[in-house]
Structure 1
Amino acid sequence: MASDHAYRDLPANARVGLLGGTFDPIHLGHLILAEEARLQLNLDRVFLLPAGEPPHKQGRPITPVEHRIHMVELATVESPHLWVSRIDADRPGPHYSIDTVRLLRQALNPGTEIFFLMGADSLRDLPNWYQPQELLAECTIAALTRPFVDVQWAKLEHTLPGIQKHVILLKMPALEIASTTLRERVRAGISIRFQTVRAVEAYIAKHGLYSR
């Protein structure tokens, strides 16, 4: 389902997850990770946040945000627990995760517990993010780890002392699906069936996305 009306209808002391991304396009890996996080953390809702102008991808052409939002809506419409948020898409960028979390905290009911979902690679890079200590104070980091991935706690503790108290490690299946691969396959005229939902596949074909 997709709506920003879903902030205040949550129960008191709700647990919500935030999964940001370019979603260019969204694929089954994103959906599996969101659902696994929901189950492992007992979340009431997971908000998928398509980025408007992600600061770490400036310089690479990105599909217009409305196309990306529509694809995320199509991918989540049948799930009562996955919702789309436009909170990043509707404000000028570049903007940063700490800003997003603070804005969402204002929109959510008091007492809501926020879990910021990220990959293990992003966790290792967290010291280089904008205001990482403030982000740790605002939410719990839920890092999506895969087998044989080294989080490198010693390095993280050196730059962000006490970080382990603010991080939960989630076990995720090893998925070899990437938006970059989907774009390349579409450009080459190769099927992306079973790598994203059928509605997203049809939307990409209808609008000629990634074909040139």
Structure 2
Amino acid sequence: MVRLGILGGTFDPVHNGHLALAEAVFRALQLERVLFVPAGDPPHKRGRPLTASAHRVRMVELAIAGRAAFALSRADLDRPGPHYSVDMVALVRREYHLAADETFFIIGADSLAALPTWHEPARLLSLCRLAVAHRPGYRPDLRRLSERLPALPDRVAWIAMPGVPISGTELRRRAARGESLAAWVPLPVARYIEANGLYR
């Protein structure tokens, strides 16, 4: 049975923090592959215009080129919105014929803390396990979260990794000021951003 990780995000832009997270989960859980799934119309990001999906897809393609363990999925782009994580995970499972226990949805500890507020969180836990990246010494209170989501403790795989001080918001600000992003994103992505005048 294939063991697969799913890393969703706007990837606006994709950066080295995303790649480090995918690599850490890939190794820790001995996965066959990690799918990068660019978001289509994420409800929690409304109010901020996203860069066109064609640019975000191309940046992911450039970032993961030559990495056999990573692949791109358009599961969240090729359907009408709004786009909820639970629906995207269900689509990926159907597309790849995955078992729930072999499907790992990759999130950060901050997202886990907010999970009870997500759309259909109990259904999400029935569809996959959660690979939760946390900084050493910090984990959300699972006992408190499980009061609202009883299945949660058995569905979490903890992935310890140092915090990567990178945010898409800050990278967009730097690009808008004309700064190179080569220290924070793969070089082909930095060149693509500059060549296409993104975030200016």
TM-score, reference length from structure 2? 0.96
Aligned to 2:33: 45
Which 5+ residue runs of structure 2 have no aligned equivalent?
Answer: none
Q: Give the match's secondary structure for 1:199.
A: helix
One of 135, 143, 151 as aligned partner of 1:146: 135
Matches for 1:1-212 after TM superposition, within 5 Å? 13-109=1-97, 111=99, 113-211=102-200
Which AA in structure 2 matches 1:16?
L
**Please, what is the CA RMSD of the aligned residues?**
1.2
**C-alpha separation in 2, matches of 1:34 and 1:127:** 24
Which AA in structure 1 matches 2:111?
S
Which AA in structure 2 matches 1:75?
A
Which AA in structure 2 matches 1:87?
A
Percent identity over the alignment? 45
Q: Which string of whole-angstrom CA distances, capped at 9 and with x for unpartnered residues, describes residues 121-177 of structure 1?
A: 000100011111111111101111112323122320111113101111111122101
**C-alpha separation in 2, matches of 1:111 and 1:165:** 16
Q: Give the match's secondary structure for 2:56.
A: helix
Which AA in structure 1 matches 2:182?
R
TM-superposed CA distance for 1:64, in Å, is 0.6
Q: Give the match's secondary structure for 1:182.
A: helix
Check whether the contact 2:93–2:99 (CA below 8 A) recurs between aligned residues: no
Q: Which string of whole-angstrom CA distances, capped at 9 and with x for unpartnered residues, describes residues 94-142 of structure 1?
A: 1211111111111113547100000000001000111111111111011
Which 5+ residue runs of structure 1 have no aligned equivalent?
Answer: 1-12
TM-superposed CA distance for 1:191, in Å, is 2.3
How many aligned residue pairs are there? 199
The runs of at least 4 consecutive aligned structure 1 residues that moved more than 4 Å come to none
